[in-house]
């Protein structure tokens, strides 16, 4: 990249990106530990490796924009501003959790931050994103709806239905595919006849581009440009963010379907060391500063675990609450 980081973003923004990515990474590593201790149960899908996508795309949106995601949703919620304490408490199933312990890892939700949810039926969020965009358009709120999803969900009927619908009605949806190459253990070319996923939107007359999802700056720039395009034209757009998850699909997956050498190659592209290297090279931060940030993130994560541990369980009566208004 010809431009220097300083030309693109302020020091504060750049360090913010670094801090958010480290916070997500440490949060997820802590989740793995808490899972092994039995404090977190159920399904747990970690975001490790994909941090640049959540951080970059969130930064490219405006606060009023809606964002929603699939079940690998901790990072998107935290980057949007959800308190890691409440997220961790949710994973512990505690009453102080983001969703009172009723949602769990896959169903985070923070409407005050316009984080409109994690959805755990693959592709279930496409129609909802389309509806959110329509609703906000009717209400003339000038919002963009950013719909995040994995490569595997592009083979669901809802993908086709919703992309067709969003273009037909000209709705402000920014579709962002997090292509981490695997739907659980099925590699993208074994599931999609067209493995160049961004090319699949031509049938819906939706422009698309492929972005390096391991580069937070690239992700930020692409999202910002795309979101403003969507806002101005009131039309959907599609980004394929090429990324990689360093862990298995979920905690029960040892990821034997891919070679260690493949994972090793991708680890050389780890978005966090890559950004820190650039920050150091360009003299934007010192090693000590970055260590300080990492320490701060670790402390926040430890605090979130402590908060979750000490929080009360939901009352039995809560089981009957929130079904109906």
Cα–Cα distance, 190 to 184 (Å, whole number) = 12
Counting contacts by CB under 8 A, is residue 11 touching another protein?
no
Cα–Cα distance, 145 to 154 (Å, whole number) = 18
Are 47 and 27 in contact by the 8 Å Cβ rule? The answer is no
Shortest distance, position 200 Cβ to another protein, whole Å: 17
Counting contacts by CB under 8 A, is residue 43 touching another protein?
no
- The pair of structure tokens assigned to 169 is 């009605």
Counting contacts by CB under 8 A, is residue 307 touching another protein?
no
**Number of other residues whose CB lies within 10 A of the CB of residue 28:** 25
Nearest alpha-carbon partner for 147 in 218, 217, 88, 227: 227
- The pair of structure tokens assigned to 7 is 């030309």
Between 147 and 284, name the residue whose CB sits nearer to another protein: 147
Pairing of strands 66-69, 182-183: unpaired
Between 95 and 298, name the residue whose CB sits nearer to another protein: 95
Residue 44: partners with Cβ closer than 8 Å, 6 or more residues away: 31, 32, 35, 91, 105, 250, 251
Counting contacts by CB under 8 A, is residue 322 touching another protein?
yes
Q: Which of 7, 37, 38, 111 binds another protein (CB under 8 A)?
A: 111
Counting contacts by CB under 8 A, is residue 116 touching another protein?
yes
Q: Which of 24, 79, 89, 98 binds another protein (CB under 8 A)?
A: 98
Cα–Cα distance, 15 to 24 (Å, whole number) = 14
Strand blocks (E) in 96-201: 115-118, 145-150, 173-179, 182-183, 186-187
- With CB under 8 A as the contact rule, which of the stretches 73-81, 165-173, 211-219, 298-306 interacts with another protein? 165-173
Counting contacts by CB under 8 A, is residue 271 touching another protein?
no
Compose the 169-188 pattern: x for residues touching another protein by CB under 8 A, - for all others: x-------------------
Counting contacts by CB under 8 A, is residue 44 touching another protein?
no
Cα–Cα distance, 14 to 48 (Å, whole number) = 20
Between 100 and 247, name the residue whose CB sits nearer to another protein: 100
Between 292 and 322, name the residue whose CB sits nearer to another protein: 322
Between 309 and 322, name the residue whose CB sits nearer to another protein: 322
- With CB under 8 A as the contact rule, which of the stretches 117-125, 174-182, 201-209, 232-240 interacts with another protein? 117-125
127 forms beta bridges with: none
In the complex, the residues that contact another protein under the rule CB under 8 A are 66, 97-103, 107, 109-111, 116-117, 119, 121, 124, 126-136, 138-139, 157-158, 161-162, 164-165, 168-169, 321-325
């Amino acid at each position: 990249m010809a431009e220097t980081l300083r030309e693109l973003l302020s020091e504060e923004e750049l360090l913010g990106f670094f801090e958010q990515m480290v916070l997500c990474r440490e949060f997820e590593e802590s989740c793995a530990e808490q899972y092994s201790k039995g404090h977190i149960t159920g399904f747990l899908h970690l975001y490790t490796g994909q941090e640049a996508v959540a951080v970059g795309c969130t930064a490219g949106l405006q606060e009023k924009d809606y964002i929603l995601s699939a079940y690998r949703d901790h990072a998107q919620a935290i980057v949007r501003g959800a308190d890691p304490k409440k997220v961790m408490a949710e994973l512990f199933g505690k009453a102080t959790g983001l969703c009172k312990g009723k949602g769990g890892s896959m169903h985070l939700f923070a409407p005050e931050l316009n984080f409109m949810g994690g959805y755990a039926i693959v592709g279930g969020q496409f129609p909802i994103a389309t509806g959110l965009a329509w609703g906000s358009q009717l209400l003339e709120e000038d919002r963009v709806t950013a719909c995040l999803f994995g490569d595997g969900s592009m083979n669901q009927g809802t993908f086709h239905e919703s992309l067709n619908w969003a273009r037909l009605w000209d709705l402000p949806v920014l579709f962002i595919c997090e292509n981490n190459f695997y739907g659980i253990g099925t590699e993208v070319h074994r599931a999609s006849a067209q493995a160049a996923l961004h090319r699949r939107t031509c049938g819906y007359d939706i422009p698309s581009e492929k972005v390096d999802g391991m580069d937070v700056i690239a992700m930020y720039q692409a999202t910002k440009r795309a979101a403003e395009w969507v806002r101005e034209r009131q039309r959907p757009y599609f980004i394929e963010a090429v990324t990689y998850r360093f862990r298995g699909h979920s905690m029960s997956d040892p990821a034997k379907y891919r070679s260690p050498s493949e994972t090793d190659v991708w680890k050389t592209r780890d978005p966090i060391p890559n950004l820190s290297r650039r920050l150091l090279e360009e003299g934007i931060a010192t090693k000590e500063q970055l260590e300080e940030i990492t320490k701060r993130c670790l402390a926040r994560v430890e605090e979130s675990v402590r908060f979750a541990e000490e929080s009360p369980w939901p009352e039995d009566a809560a089981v009957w609450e929130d079904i109906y208004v």
